[in-house]
Amino acid sequence: MNPIELFLTCASWQEAQRITDVLLEKKLVACVEQMEIRSKNWWEGAIEDTAEIKLSMLSVAEHYDKIEAEIAKLHSYETFVLKQISISHLNEDAIKWLQTSTS
């Protein structure tokens, strides 16, 4: 088991909730934190300034492809960015909880 943290921005609270609920119900993630953020980025030749919802999700690397496929079905952005960060250390109780929550 390889624990990971995933990051994804969503256009609205509704979209963030929909994605969160599906990933949790399918046991692809153990936990999702939702944060209101402000993003600035290049899109189609211009700088955008957008209010978004950022998801921080705890999961295992083995589920990445399934998570990405579910997000692709639900996300409103033409191009979404799903970032994976490997977790090199995690306390033993958290590892047990993660294994139970994502199996």
Residue 1: pLDDT over 90: no
pLDDT digits (tens, 9 = 90+) for 76-94: 999 999 999 999 999 999 9
Q: Name the pTM for this structure.
A: 0.93
Give residue 89's identity as a one-letter amino acid code. H
Percent of the chain with pLDDT over 70: 100
Strand-pairing partners, residue 83, are 7
Tell me how far CA of residue 53 lies from CA of 34, 39, 72, in angstroms.
6, 10, 17
3-state secondary structure at position 45: coil
End-to-end CA distance of the chain: 11
**Nearby residues of 89 by Cβ (< 8 Å), 6 or more positions away:** none
